[in-house]
Structure 1
Amino acid sequence: MTVKAVLFTLACTATIGANAQKQYPQPEKMTPGMSEYWTPQPKIVTPGDICTNSAPSDAIILFDGKDLSAWEDSKGGPAQWTVHNGTFTVNKPAGDILTKQKFENFQLHIEWCIPENITGNSQARGNSGIFLQDMYEIQVLDCYNNETYVNGQTGSVYKQTPPLANAMRKPGEWNVYDIIYTAPVFKEDGTYRIPPHVTVIQNGIVLQNNTTILGTTEYIGFPKVIKHGAGPIRLQSHGDPSEPISFRNIWLREL
């Protein structure tokens, strides 16, 4: 090694040693406030009164126990189901009813009761349905000691996803559905960019946990993907020979 090379090596070594000893600023010590933010504050919603079973302060009331003014029949005329004692009952000859208002993402609360003197079996036993955006059915049926195909059971995404549990109360007692629904987002070609999702809770028990809805809930055949926008809630008049079911205390919160 030449003298020049030796001197260069010594100079580099000295520089590295000096840099190794140099003190750099240490990161600032974390404090609780560094991971906190204060705005925007969530809106204040007053919960319903548990004693009177009232709706939250921001809810859209779809049935207040008095009339069906928020609903219409499938032809756009007045809803003809029977209102009595704070409830209303399926009128099979009158057909389905739909909300006049259309919705996208929402939380839906609805209570329903199978009559105590119900007859029939399998699907012909208190059959109805709640259609989200008039496209996707959540099954309503008496499955208390009544077997049927599991993807048509109470709380199923009809003909698609069975419920995680059978949470039915016996006929004559009221059942409660709380449904959280996320509407689909479509691509320009009409296919799903993000498919619809639903969570269904019956009587405090989770039946569907952020379940992906594959498409329309067909009675015959398989799901279809049909591009759509906001849509109404439809309640089904199934038309089977069993006694009709009743509904009460229906409200919705847009999300």
Structure 2
Amino acid sequence: MNHCKNLLLTGLASLTFAQLSAQEYPNTPPEESPMPMKPEMTEIWEPEVEVVTPGEKLGDAPSDAIILFGGENLEQWVSQSDSTKAAPWEVKDGYFQVSPGTGGIQTKMKFGDCQIHLEWSAPDDAAHRGQGRGNSGLFFQDRYELQILDSYENRTYANGQAGSIYKDHPPLVNAMRSPDKWNTYDVIYTAPRFKEDGRLDSEAKITVLHNGVVVQNDATIHGLTLYIGLHNYPEAHGEDVIALQDHGTKVQFRNIWIRRL
């Protein structure tokens, strides 16, 4: 008896829903009618979005950024050849400069996914050509290089000019300013992922704005940015340092900050 009663109630409920659906959706067959939606059913209220205060002007660090160079010292950096030693590059009036022959520098902290802002300029003296003019590099996880080079009226191989992922992706355009002006890089970097057994799960990705112009648009980094040979991911790794390269020229840097993503 209870079974028959339950069947009757189920049937009446289905009939009522079908009648309501037919009134709400007159052109939709009852068996395909969706449940009526309300605006609040697709609203997300929790957790509340964290507040970050942006910089006062373009290029200023937001409130949650880690300042890697604010104009006074290189206390966030160490020598790349010996991480127990201070960074050997010269700090001047609000910027620092590569000291050629002393080796690269790297951050004390390690990072994976990140947003980074960096300002740089090539030497005013444009006597050299190609890779010999204003050459440095910004390395993510101490492995993947975003090329720094004076590419203003200075032809070289496309995947080795400013804004390139070195020996991997040429920039979409050449947005370089003249040697007497400062350039900006604003970068969104997504680190590679590896499976538990060490095999590659997903490659690194990078988006780069050079002087406000998109030059890398969610580009895939195909592995170590080697000078010679094909790129690959030879081993699994986690977070690692941000590094700046000493390539023998006096490139200058200022206003460097980073946000973990």
Band the TM-score falls in, shorter-chain normalisation? 0.7 to 0.9
Matches within 5 A, 1:138-177: 138-177=146-185
Q: What's the counterpart of residue 246 of structure 1?
A: 252
Shift of 1:116: 1.8
Q: What's the counterpart of residue 232 of structure 2?
A: 224
SS of residue paired to 2:150: coil
Shift of 1:23: 5.0
When structure 1 is superposed on structure 2, of 142-151 and 27-36 the one drifting more is: 27-36
1:24 aligns with 2:30: no
Q: What's the counterpart of residue 70 of structure 1?
A: 76
Deviations 1:46-65 (A, max 9, x none): 001117x5311000000010
Query: Could you tell me the percent identity over the aligned residues?
Result: 49
1:203 aligns with 2:224: no
Q: What's the counterpart of residue 122 of structure 1?
A: 130
Deviations 1:134-176 (A, max 9, x none): 0100000011101111111111110011111100000010000
Q: What's the counterpart of residue 42 of structure 2?
A: 35
1:59 aligns with 2:52: no
CA distance in 2, matches of 1:208, 1:104: 18
Deviations 1:226-254 (A, max 9, x none): 31111000000012xxx511000000000
| Alpha carbons of structure 1 residues 43 and 122: separation in structure 2 relative to 1, 3 Å | same
CA distance in 2, matches of 1:85, 1:248: 10
The amino acid of 1:108's aligned partner reads I
The amino acid of 1:24's aligned partner reads F
Q: What's the counterpart of residue 212 of structure 1?
A: 220
CA distance in 2, matches of 1:227, 1:214: 14
SS of residue paired to 1:151: helix
CA distance in 2, matches of 1:198, 1:29: 42
1:188 aligns with 2:181: no
SS of residue paired to 1:93: coil
TM-score (norm 2): 0.85
CA distance in 1, matches of 2:51, 2:152: 39
The amino acid of 2:163's aligned partner reads G
Shift of 1:99: 0.2
1:137 aligns with 2:148: no
| Alpha carbons of structure 1 residues 24 and 50: separation in structure 2 relative to 1, 3 Å | closer
Q: What's the counterpart of residue 102 of structure 2?
A: 94
Q: Which is greater in Rg?
A: 1
Deviations 1:87-138 (A, max 9, x none): 0000112110000000111000000011222321111111000000101000
Structure 2: give runs of 5+ residues left out of the alignment: 1-11, 22-34
CA distance in 2, matches of 1:168, 1:179: 16
CA distance in 2, matches of 1:124, 1:231: 28
Shift of 1:35: 1.6
CA distance in 2, matches of 1:44, 1:86: 29
When structure 1 is superposed on structure 2, of 224-233 and 175-184 the one drifting more is: 224-233
1:234 aligns with 2:251: no
The amino acid of 2:244's aligned partner reads L
Shift of 1:188: 3.3
TM-score (norm 1): 0.87
Structure 1: give runs of 5+ residues left out of the alignment: 1-18
SS of residue paired to 1:24: helix
